[in-house]
Structure 1
Amino acid sequence: MNSSLLLFKDHTPQFKSLSKTEQDDIENQCKSLRTLRESFTQDLVKNLKKIDENFQELRQAISIDIQNVGLHYFKDIIKALNDCLDRNDNNFNLKQKELADSEKQLANELERIGQNIFDVRIGRTNWLKTPRKYKPLDTHHINLPESISLFDDFLLKSGGHSGGWRPEDHQLFLLLKSKHKTEQVVELLHQKCPDITKDVVLEHDEWYEKYTKLLQDKKLAVQKWKQSKKSGQSLSVGNINEIMSRSDTPSSNPSTGRIGKYKRMNEEVKKQIAEWKLAKSLRTKEEQEKSKQEQEKKLELERGKKEMKKTR
């Protein structure tokens, strides 16, 4: 009996009762499995060797390519990109400076034109020969309603009449606000404009409530201010001439000098000019707001018609 069979018998005494034929079958099966294992092992070794050979060939090819190209090639590319970024940055700074200078020049020109227009209205004709810098309106001695300055400051700090939003997005907000409650406005606006989060819509709704309140307060203050000024004397060229003519009339009080008369006349003229400018500015703002509201209503109607066509 061969060694494998002896080993089998030594380690598996429970099979001592097997017949000779059964033992031979088991031994043949073991040999067959051993042969398969050895064949699988040999194939696996061959495959691993082949993979290693392919890897070595690939590594050698890559090494040759890198040596042929050289690191200086990549350095040149990076340097070119860096130079391009530097040029763009310098060009941007120069363009920004040019635009800032242009903005400053335009602002000065608008101030000068505004002063020239006022000079023409009050009868001055030498403004073309001697242009002068426009001075801001001095309203410290005028009882300006606080609601007006509060509303103007609010607009400056919060992004104008649209609250810093794009005009078309704000128009959509107003359209939805006129038809739905706040919760529905938040959901619908976020659906139509996914880039606007719900928190941003809620903040804009709070801004709009404050905007509406301040605007209403300003309108009431302007109306009261107009009514209070109706009983007073309005500014005109005749009023100014009348004041100047009164200043030329000899004073009944000998102790009153010419300098005092001119000072009083100057203060009175300044006050009436300031009130006239303020009234004109308020009228202009009212007209602009009225025009803006009409434009908003028109856009809302057009948007509503488009939505109705889509739903059909």
Structure 2
Amino acid sequence: MASKGLATKRRQESGRRKGKEDGDKTRGGGGDEMKAGGGSSWAWKTKTENAKKVEALREIEQLEQKINNLDREKGVHLYNKRSDFRKLFCTLEEQELKLNSDRKTEKAKLRQQLNKMRGSVTKFQRELHNVKPTPEFVEKLKEIMETIESVVSEFKEQQKQIYEELLREEQTLNQEVTALEKRLESWASAPPITIETKSVKPKTVSSARNVIADLPPEVAAFERFLLQTGGHRGGWDEYDHGTFLRIRNKFKGKSAFLDEAATSIPGRNITDVRQHENWYQEYLTLMEKKKDGIQKWKIVKEAQKDECLTQAAVDEDEKKEEEEQKTRARARRLEEERREQADRLNAWKVQKELMKAKEEEKQIEIEMRRAKEYEKERLRQLEVRNQVQEYLQRKQEEDAIQRLEVESKKAVQEEEKKTMSREERVRFLERDQRRLEERLAKGKAKEEEQRKKSKRLERLKGQVEVQVERDPSRLYRLTEGWKERKKDTTSASNGPVLHMPHRAVPSWRAGL
């Protein structure tokens, strides 16, 4: 029962931890947008959130360490093979192992579901980086969002059902614990006298499920009634049951209060109120029977007490001696267990220190090897750099020598060109002057001919009257230019040019 409660707390802690991690990631993703906006307030907020996250993780680690320590101590005291109660706790140990296995399986399943949801969200974020203004892209984003929403809703519904089942189990266990506490309180109210003789065999310890069977019939009937009907409020919560009692006392138990209660208590109809009234009447009846049964039980116990007092005085000394022997044996056994545990702890610490020293030595060797490789690589790069510098320097010197040779050759050629081209220049100037005069003469003759042609056309226009008939079809006929274009262009004159005449090259410039 304790292990089941511990498993429930661990599951809740795991859920809160994963929720915190997802929240941190979500805040981290939103931080990018805030960072785009810029500002020192964002940096301060991020720093504060990181500090809170580190503090929460540190607290979680401390709690896990405490849980582990408690588990070890519990194992030493309850599940030790040399313990007197080993057989009694075998069932509890099996139940705890089963619950631990179920918890690990549920943890793996939860992690798988969360990874699936995280993958869907990551896919959606990747799609948002490449936004396309198309209906297909919008439809694709809509499908991804609907998938994520359905997965999250299904996950929440599953967790809700699991937690509701756990709450029902917790309520049942609390009722059983309450019954045990009441039984212990009834024992504590009586004088602490137990009679044991050598001929009497010790009674076996009853389990929590069979505690009610050992109570008086009236008390057992009342406790069984509470377990079956949902406790002292009949399965109703405190507010609804308190309202029911207040209205019932107001009407002094008359049947007219049923309608008033049905309208005053939200979520309850007249049938629920009538059933609760029947339950409450049975509850009061069993409560009175329980009180009477307890009084009778006390009277019987008092008689048994008086009867056993005389025999208790005889066996008290023997019992004290036996208890002292058991106490000394238990103390020796606990001392041996503590010593063994201390030896195991010391051996574990020594082993841990050795492993830590080996790990540090291995890390030092890795760092030294890395430093040697880095130094070797640095020397190689330095040598390559020197070789490159030498090559560049040698190349620059060769280029400088080549430039000097080219410049000197060019200077010689320029000088030769100047001396050889003076006569050619005079001859070219005379030729150009002659061609210019010829071109001017041709232009003047052409202008004179054009002027004469214009005068002749003017005389002809004066002699002939121009009459043109209207012909709209001329707009659709081909022009003379277009007819020339449509003629066959595959003539010999349009073939490839095999020879292009060029101006003659002087002899002094040939070969340059």
The TM-score, its normalising length taken from structure 2, stands at: 0.26
Higher relative contact order (CA 8 A, sep 6+): 1
The TM-score, its normalising length taken from structure 1, stands at: 0.40
**Bigger CA radius of gyration:** 2
